[in-house]
Amino acid sequence: MKGDTIWREMAMKCPNCGTENSDEARFCQMCARALAPSYQVPDLVVQSVPAPKSKSNTIVIVAVAIVIVVAIIAVIAVVMIGAAPEADLRADLSYSPANDGPERVGSGTIIVYGTIYNYGDKMGDGTMQLHIWDGYGWHDYSSPTGVVPANGSVDFYWDAEFDMMDESLVDVQYSLTTG
């Protein structure tokens, strides 16, 4: 007996002459050749045990996941860049301050007007940043340019009223950003 498993001997066949001998025989009863005992192995229940996860498997899985995420981000970036307008917007603007009449002495309107040109091959839009001196202080404004067609232009008009304005000191500075 080994552990909980019972081993039993089988009838022995002589490897020399093939004669069947008793289970306990050590020599063949026909040719006297030494017999080696043979044993029947009991049926074994085999259970599958999952292979232990190794660090190298985990590293490979993480590396593959990272490569997939980077590839997806790259595809999205290519699509977004292809969809982004390639515009080259430039402005040719002027301004004019105007007092609104004698009843509003010291107040008035500043008008910024002109043309925004797109020298690019795709339509685009942008924002005009206006930095205005009304004679008493600086004021910042932003105004959308609207969509400017490829190799085309749009007119730009913006105005604002000021409670206090010295028409002789008005100054307008502007910049244009695309996006």
The two three-digit tokens of residue 107, written as one number = 């107040």
Instruction: Give yes or no for a contact between 9 and 41, defined as CB atoms under 8 angstroms apart.
Output: no
pTM of the model: 0.49
How many angstroms separate the CA atoms of 116 and 148, rounded?
8
Band (102; pLDDT cuts 50, 70, 90): low
Is the model's pLDDT at 1 over the cut of 50?
A: no
Is the model's pLDDT at 39 over the cut of 80?
A: no
Instruction: Give yes or no for a contact between 176 and 116, defined as CB atoms under 8 angstroms apart.
Output: yes
Band (21; pLDDT cuts 50, 70, 90): confident
Three-class DSSP category at 42: coil
Average pLDDT of the residues of the chain: 80
- Per-range mean pLDDT, top range of 25-39, 70-84, 146-160: 146-160
